[in-house]
Amino acid sequence: MTMKTRSFLTILSLLSITLSLAIASDPSPLQDFCIGVNTPANGVFVNGKFCKDPKLATADDFFFSGLDKAKNTESSPVGSNVTTANVDQIPGLNTLGISLVRIDYGVNGQNPPHIHPRATEMLVVEKGTLFVGFVSSFPENRLFNKTLNKGDVFVFPQGLIHFQFNVGKTPAAAFSALSSQSPGVVLIANTVFGSKPPIDPNFLARAFQLDPKVVMDLQTKF
């Protein structure tokens, strides 16, 4: 066996050990930072996005302002509004496996059942009272719920359906940290009843054990 083959095999076995351990975040960045840019004009490395030349990096690439501002919840059909601070707003987050959101809830407002396909979420209540929960996967489908007040923290595991309702008498606000630069959102109702083109209502009627007319009505709303 040549030296080269041996070190290749060592790397291969290290790799398989690494892969068999739980990988709990976005892949390792492999460099200090990789500020995402959309064109290679000022870029050098390629890693999903092009990385900005590190010599051209500035503090502003890692900066975002305005998470103190409550957003309007009146025009939302579910009475909430989310402000995101992810790689789309903060290019310096590229490859770092973390992001933030602020969520504002009107009275009776809710963040409807949804999934983050790429992130676990850790929510902290800034003001108000929220009833929150997530449901474990099939076949157990167990609801884990809690009523949260200011300063309370709750965890929503990656990929599970979760929600928050404002059950207090005042508007509420929360911040969440998410374990991805780009957590993604799958809103259950919008995805199932609002797909383009629509899923056959007769098929959905059977799936949800509903009258096809109810499904068609839902499809006009999402």
Ligand X SMILES: *[C@@H]1O[C@H](CO)[C@@H](O)[C@H](O)[C@H]1NC(C)=O
Q: How far does CA 167 lie from the centroid of its chain?
A: 23
Token look-up 């800034």 returns 126
Rounded distance, CA 90 to CA 103, Å? 18
Rounded distance, CA 67 to CA 214, Å? 39
Q: How many residues bind ligand X (CB under 6 A)?
A: 7
Using CB under 6 A as the binding rule, whether residue 75 contacts ligand X is answered as: yes
Nearer to ligand X, 102 or 116 (CB): 102
Pick the piece of the chain touching ligand X (CB under 6 A) from 17-25, 71-79, 161-169, 176-184: 71-79
- In the three-class reduction of DSSP (H, G, I as helix; E, B as strand; rest coil), residue 160 is classed as coil
Using CB under 6 A as the binding rule, whether residue 89 contacts ligand X is answered as: no
**Residue of 26, 33, 81, 164 that binds ligand X (CB under 6 A):** 81
Rounded distance, CA 173 to CA 102, Å? 7
Strand partners, 37: 50
Nearer to ligand X, 45 or 131 (CB): 131
Using CB under 6 A as the binding rule, whether residue 76 contacts ligand X is answered as: yes
Nearer to ligand X, 145 or 219 (CB): 145
Phi-psi region of 97 (alpha: psi -120 to 50; beta: other; left: phi over 0): left
Residue 202 counted as an annotated binding residue? no
Rounded distance, CA 145 to CA 107, Å? 20
Using CB under 6 A as the binding rule, whether residue 127 contacts ligand X is answered as: no
The footprint of ligand X (CB under 6 A) covers 71-72, 75-76, 81, 143, 145
Per the annotation, binding residues are: 111, 114, 116, 121, 162
